């Protein structure tokens, strides 16, 4: 699951976010958000294998509530949508 991707920024710029252009910042943010969704899908699947789907579902609901409290409903909805998209892609 650890596949390397080409960096969207130059190494010199990546060490100082203030040097990034708006386009580079947006690309970096998108990459981070998508990577987070992939990570949560991985964690959910691991939990489901270890504890069963029912327990994993309750764990995820609690986790999603915590994310909503910290980042807001919009961020939680975006994460859920990205995770569902990944799930659909993997099913096909």
Residue pLDDT, tens place only, 19-65: 888 898 888 889 999 999 999 999 999 999 999 999 999 999 999 99
pLDDT, residue 48, reads 95
pLDDT, residue 45, reads 94
- Indicate if the pLDDT at residue 5 is higher than 80: no
- What would the 3-class secondary structure string for 18-80 be? HHCCHHHHHHHHHHHHHHHHHHHHHHHHHHHHHHCHHHHHHHHHHHHHHHHHHHCHHHHHHHH
**Which residue did the predictor score with more confidence, 15 or 3?**
15
CB neighbour list of residue 85: distance below 8 Å, 6 or more residues apart: 37
């Amino acid at each position: 699951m650890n596949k390397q991707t080409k960096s969207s920024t130059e190494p010199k710029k990546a060490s100082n976010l203030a040097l990034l252009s708006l386009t580079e910042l947006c690309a970096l943010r998108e990459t981070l958000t998508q990577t987070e969704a992939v990570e949560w899908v991985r964690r959910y699947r691991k939990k489901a294998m270890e504890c069963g789907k029912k327990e994993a579902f309750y764990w995820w609901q609690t986790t999603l509530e915590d994310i909503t409290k910290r980042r807001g409903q919009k961020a939680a909805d975006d994460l859920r949508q990205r995770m569902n998209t990944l799930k659909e892609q993997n099913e096909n």
